């Protein structure tokens, strides 16, 4: 049988990956293939052993924490003793002396302007293009076609009553963000806007007016021939908002990339973005359409000077964490290579096409990599050294590669300042990830006792401390004006009215960005950054003391719980339905993120983070006797029928049966949940997805 791997400097590289690198990624970079492979082999020789040591250290810490809790079974939780123990074993490290981050040249979208952020699966080219092009969005469309406003449009065509609703809301928004010197935007007739603050007039594009507020732009589209504009006193046919300033192209939680073919497809899409030539042709209403990256937007300033604004979101790429390995590349001993090292080298190599070209992405000449699922200071320092070595391999100046640190693991949030200090010269982003952070909270304290019900987690003491500390520590480390402080995802893409009411809390918290599930949501969320001055909120919050570590380390135990049989059954059903609804698409169709109906048929954006919570929560209740194995299996059986019903309209859906790969994977996530490293779902999902690909996708 022919070996599907090619020898490259002692590494065993999947033939399709080797061809992609040599035929597509390297040409135009000035780096010879032999030099690249030798450099990559040196990276693995240096960093793969240390990667393994870090993972063993995670396991060792978890074993000690498990033993500490087991030794105190039945005793009241000793909070002071617990913290002293965590310091003794090195789980908690010393705080660094005060410092200020210095990431160097950073684009304004990251350092100085606050606005929405999208996260998009890198394997879906159409979604990628939509997200990259979501830098600008129609406020009229976002309001008209969603539940942001009460009611719904009447009839299949344009509903003038709904349109009037939209126009009224938009004019009131303009009154709030960019008040006129006299009167209201509701009465504006289309002359040059006489703004209360004349500096907010940024320029023109033909008849359109460009305004600027809090660093964000608003374009007033004047078109008296348009069906809306011709009935408007000002000829205003639309209000275009600068929306998704940044987009994270995701190689991690939102994709199912389990082999060389998947990795090459992901890297190829990233290459298309960095070269600026990514395109996707599809059929809509019987016609073939091709979607491409948007061009920059041209304007003329009030003094007559021409200028352009970016037409696309600034792109980050999220690599995988330290845990996973990939069969796309085998080490000399034929073991799978750490995937994060490959991601660091390949995504940076591909980004050279942007740095050496027209700077279609980063005008500051930076490469932006988000690094997820790091546990503590030493793992952040490892990433910093790895990025140093990748820069040396590619001939890049030190700290060209910027890093985003996802504050989503308990050991990282408990040592956040130390983690930031470890990457202080390249860090441009921190964010809270409630979902993964909750999964890690459950797994870390698995032996302490039964956890509260999943819905109660949001009210737990550690959550408030976690969200506050992230902003407070970021500001103390000098993030204001230098880097992003982010908040997590709004998971319900069909509930925009609720999002408008609730997600304003993120800029009010002093966060410069927050995740949204769609370009439409980005446009609506952008209004929050006009209503709130994030710079002012950061200045106010910078004087706050950091929330105490005691609250962050409060374990969300259900002390003295006395749930009824119905409450237990409801919780089991809720978790089982969420697990099955997500896993069946992951295993059978390779879909890593999609809108999955919950048990109440509310569509929620689901990825591996939500799966981690549900599977660990069931594993916790099973371990502590809140539920029996038979009860959990019964819930899976009930919810399999429910998920089948919810997917009945999908022509390629495979029903869940007791012996289907998706059902087996779901059960493994729960019944083997205690044994999964830090409660991660990836090892189980990858195993069953690879088996599924052997069988063949539907």
> Is the per-residue pLDDT at 470 higher than 70?
yes
Asked if residue 697 has pLDDT above 80, the reply is: no
User: Has residue 298 got a pLDDT over 60?
Assistant: yes
Residue with tokens 């809306």: 228
**Is the predicted pLDDT of residue 397 greater than 70, yes or no?**
yes
Residue 234 clears pLDDT 90, i.e. is over it: yes
Cα(157)–Cα(160) distance, integer angstroms:
9
Judge whether residue 590 has pLDDT over 80: yes
pLDDT at residue 457 in the model: 94
**Is the confidence at residue 1, as pLDDT, over 70?**
no
Tell me the pLDDT band of 108, cut-offs 50, 70 and 90: very high
Residue of 511, 509, 508, 516 lying closest to 492 (CA atoms): 516
Q: Which band of pLDDT confidence, cut at 50, 70 and 90, is reported for residue 555?
A: very high
Closest-CA residue to 8 (of 28, 36, 30): 36
How far from 622 is each of 93, 473, 558, CA to CA, in Å? 33, 37, 14
Nearest to 326 by CA among 249, 265, 257, 278: 257
Neighbours of 252 (CB within 10 A): 29
Answer with the residue of higher pLDDT: 289 or 664: 664
pLDDT at 665: 98
Model confidence over 521-535: pLDDT tens digits?
999 999 999 999 999
Instruction: For residue range 628-674, list pLDDT tens digits in order.
Output: 999 999 999 999 999 999 999 999 999 999 999 999 999 999 999 99
Q: Is residue 606 scored above 80 in pLDDT?
A: yes
pTM score, whole prediction: 0.97
Give the rounded percent of residues in the chain with a pLDDT score beyond 90: 94
Q: What is the mean pLDDT of the chain?
A: 96
Q: Is 253 designated active site?
A: no
Arithmetic mean of pLDDT, 553-568 = 94
Looking up tokens 């105190």, which residue turns up? 72
pLDDT at 614: 97
Please report which confidence band the pLDDT of residue 696 belongs to, taking 50, 70 and 90 as the band edges: confident
Q: What is the mean predicted confidence (pLDDT) over 411-415? A: 98
One of 171, 297, 312, 318 is an active-site residue; which one?
318
Residue 585 and residue 580: Cα distance in Å, rounded? 9
Task: Evaluate if residue 695 carries a pLDDT over 90.
Answer: no
C-alpha to C-alpha distance for 497 and 1, rounded to whole angstroms: 59
CA gap 677, 684 in Å, rounded: 11
Mean pLDDT of 52-78: 96
Tell me which of 262, 378, 468, 607 is the catalytic residue.
Answer: 607
pLDDT at 190: 82
- The pLDDT, as a whole number, for residue 74 is 87
- Whether the CB-CB separation of 270 and 166 falls below 8 Å is answered with no
Q: Does residue 56 carry a catalytic annotation?
A: no
Report the pLDDT value the prediction gives residue 358, as an integer from 0 to 100.
65
pLDDT: is 561 or 125 the higher one?
125
pLDDT at 155: 86
Could you say which DSSP state residue 91 is in? S
- Rounded distance between C-alpha atoms, residue 399 and residue 388, angstroms: 7
Q: What is the pLDDT of residue 112?
A: 98
Looking only at the bridges linking them, the beta strands covering 594-597 and 603-606 are antiparallel
pLDDT for 217 equals 98
User: What does DSSP say about strands 208-213 and 201-205: parallel, antiparallel, or unpaired?
Assistant: antiparallel
- pLDDT in the model for residue 15: 97
Which residues have C-beta within 8 Å of that of residue 213, sequence separation ≥ 6?
Answer: 177, 178, 200, 530
Looking at residue 336, what DSSP letter applies? Answer: E
Q: How confident is the model at residue 269 (pLDDT cuts 50, 70, 90)?
A: very high
């Amino acid at each position: 049988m022919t070996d599907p791997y090619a020898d490259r400097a002692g590494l065993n590289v999947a033939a399709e990956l080797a061809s992609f690198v040599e035929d597509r990624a390297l040409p135009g970079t000035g780096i010879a293939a032999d030099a690249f492979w030798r450099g990559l082999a040196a990276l693995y020789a240096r960093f793969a052993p240390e990667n393994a040591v870090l993972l063993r250290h995670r396991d060792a810490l978890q074993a000690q924490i498990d033993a500490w809790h087991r030794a105190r079974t039945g005793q009241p939780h000793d909070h002071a003793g617990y913290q002293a123990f965590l310091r003794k074993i090195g789980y908690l490290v010393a705080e660094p002396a005060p410092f200020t981050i210095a990431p160097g040249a950073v684009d304004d979208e990251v350092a100085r302007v606050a606005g929405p952020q999208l996260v998009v699966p890198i394997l879906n080219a159409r979604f990628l293009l939509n997200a990259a092009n979501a830098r600008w969005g129609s406020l009229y469309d976002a309001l008209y076609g969603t539940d942001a406003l009460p009611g719904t449009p009447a009839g299949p065509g344009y509903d003038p009553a709904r349109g009037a609703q939209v126009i009224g809301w938009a004019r009131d928004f303009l009154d709030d963000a960019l008040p006129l010197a006299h009167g209201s935007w509701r009465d504006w007739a289309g002359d040059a806007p006489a703004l209360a603050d004349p500096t907010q007039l940024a320029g023109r594009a033909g008849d359109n007016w460009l305004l600027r507020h809090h660093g964000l732009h608003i374009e007033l589209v004047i078109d008296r021939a348009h069906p809306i504009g011709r009935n408007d006193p000002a000829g205003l046919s639309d209000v275009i908002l600068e929306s998704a300033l940044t987009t994270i192209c995701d190689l991690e939680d939102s994709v199912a990339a389990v082999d060389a073919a998947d990795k090459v497809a992901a890297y190829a899409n990233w290459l298309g973005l960095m070269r600026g030539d990514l395109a996707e042709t599809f059929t809509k209403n019987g016609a073939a359409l091709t979607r491409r990256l948007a061009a920059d937007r041209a304007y003329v300033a009030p003094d007559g000077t021409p200028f352009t604004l970016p037409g696309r979101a600034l792109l980050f790429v999220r690599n995988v964490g330290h845990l996973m390995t990939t069969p796309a590349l085998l080490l000399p001993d034929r073991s799978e290579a750490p995937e994060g090292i490959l991601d660091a080298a390949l995504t940076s190599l591909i980004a050279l096409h942007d740095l050496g070209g027209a700077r279609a992405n980063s005008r500051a000449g930076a490469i932006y990599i988000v690094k997820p699922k790091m546990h503590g200071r030493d793992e952040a320092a490892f990433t910093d050294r790895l990025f140093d070595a990748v820069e040396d391999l590619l001939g890049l100046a030190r700290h060209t590669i910027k890093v985003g640190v996802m504050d989503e693991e308990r050991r990282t949030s408990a040592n956040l300042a130390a983690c930031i200090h470890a990457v202080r010269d390249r860090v441009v982003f921190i964010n809270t990830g409630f979902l993964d952070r909750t999964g890690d909270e459950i797994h870390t304290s698995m032996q302490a006792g039964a956890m509260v019900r999943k819905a109660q987690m949001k009210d737990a003491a550690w959550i408030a401390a976690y969200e506050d500390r992230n902003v407070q520590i970021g500001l103390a480390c000098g993030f204001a004006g230098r880097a992003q402080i982010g908040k997590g995802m709004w998971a319900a893409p069909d509930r925009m009215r609720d999002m408008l009411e609730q997600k304003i809390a993120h800029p009010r918290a002093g966060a410069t960005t927050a995740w949204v599930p769609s370009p439409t949501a980005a446009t609506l969320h952008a209004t929050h950054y006009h209503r709130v001055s994030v710079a002012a909120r950061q200045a106010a919050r910078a004087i706050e003391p950091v929330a105490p570590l005691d609250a962050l380390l409060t374990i969300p135990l259900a002390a003295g719980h006395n749930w009824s049989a119905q409450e237990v059954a409801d919780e089991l059903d809720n978790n089982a339905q969420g697990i099955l609804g997500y896993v069946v698409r992951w295993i059978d169709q390779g879909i890593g993120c999609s809108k999955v109906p919950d048990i109440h048929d509310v569509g929620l954006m689901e990825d591996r983070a939500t799966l981690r919570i549900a599977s660990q929560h069931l594993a916790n209740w099973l371990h502590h006797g809140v539920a029996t194995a038979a009860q959990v299996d019964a819930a899976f059986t009930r919810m399999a029928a429910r998920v089948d019903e919810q997917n009945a309209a999908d022509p390629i859906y495979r029903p869940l049966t007791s012996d289907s790969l998706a059902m087996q994977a779901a059960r493994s996530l729960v019944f083997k949940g205690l044994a999964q490293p830090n409660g991660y779902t990836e090892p189980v999902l990858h195993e069953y997805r690879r088996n599924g690909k052997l069988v063949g996708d539907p």
